[in-house]
Amino acid sequence: MNLKLKIWRQAKAESKGRMVTYSITDVSPDMSFLEMMDMHNEQLIQKGEDPVAFDHDCREGICGMCSMFINGEAHGPDRLVTTCQLHMRKFKDGDTIIIEPFRANAFPIIKDLVVDRSAFDRIQQAGGFVSVNTSGNTQDANSIPIDKHDADKAFDAATCIGCGACVASCKNASAMLFVSAKVSQYSLLPQGKVEATDRVLNMVKQMDEEGFGNCTNTGACEVECPKGISLENVARMNREYMIASLKG
């Protein structure tokens, strides 16, 4: 396949960025999107040009590091995949592909397609945990049976990979899906219920301080989420938040 790539280039956080057009030839449909980017970078290096910076690590859809906005969609046109799992067979010969970083005020650009998502870490640090020491002196793992349905729902929420596609897809750059996934995971489990009140209040407070927008229930986040995290989690967090606010 021969393709035209329009890629956002920006030297560093403070500099002004712009779209740059490149051509790439002999792309195999079996390549992953990032392998196509590798090939493109190899060609830039051969020409003595600066390769395009992008985040990536596991290349199997689980670490959450890759983060491109491709043709107007986080992680590109396929569903339930990250950019690293997207394959070139989803494109056609002659296509123009527009590649941008995840854009949000709370995700400042570091270089080209690389953004700073440490705001997500800070939200987790505000309450995304169960306050139990790692001493190993806890009770036996089977001492509290957990309803399988609740355990399964907690697991589904916990599969969030923290990539930020929800924020990038939201017109308000809201992080509600991300935050609600963690709040839901714990609120569905007896171990997490103990400090549910503080957790939701603290995490939402931090989320607001980081500059993420509000949720207006458009559901774009759910559509673009590579792990299919359900909007139901946002409803659950709202409920948790209301209860906590009344208590607090």
> Which of positions 123-182 make contact with other proteins (CB under 8 A)?
124-126, 128-136, 138-142, 145-148, 151, 154-155, 158-159, 161-162
Q: Which of residues 199-238 bind other proteins (CB under 8 A)?
A: none
Toward other proteins, which CB reaches closer, 172 or 197? 197
Q: How far is CA 209 from the centre of its chain?
A: 19
Toward other proteins, which CB reaches closer, 125 or 214? 125
Q: For strand 114-115 and strand 109-111, is the pairing parallel, antiparallel, or unpaired? A: antiparallel
How many angstroms separate the CA atoms of 113 and 110, rounded? Answer: 8
- The beta strands (E) that lie in the chain are given as 3-9, 18-24, 68-70, 73-74, 96-101, 109-111, 114-115
Q: Which of residues 69-98 bind other proteins (CB under 8 A)?
A: 78, 80-81, 85, 87, 89
Residue 58 lies near other proteins (rule: CB under 8 A)? yes
Toward other proteins, which CB reaches closer, 22 or 172? 22
Q: Which of 48, 93, 94, 171 touches other proteins by CB under 8 A?
A: 48
How many angstroms separate the CA atoms of 27 and 45, rounded? Answer: 18
In this structure, how many other beta carbons lie within 10 angstroms of the beta carbon of residue 216? 12
Strand order in the sheet with 3-9: 18-24, 3-9, 96-101, 68-70, 73-74
Q: Which of 19, 42, 235, 248 touches other proteins by CB under 8 A?
A: 42
Select the span of 69-77, 187-195, 229-237, 238-246 touching other proteins (CB under 8 A).
187-195
Dihedrals φ, ψ of 199, to 5°?
-60, -55
Contacts with other proteins by CB under 8 A: the residue count is: 77
Q: Which of residues 103-122 bind other proteins (CB under 8 A)?
A: 110-111, 114, 116-118, 120-121
Closest distance between other proteins and the C-beta of residue 68, in Å?
14
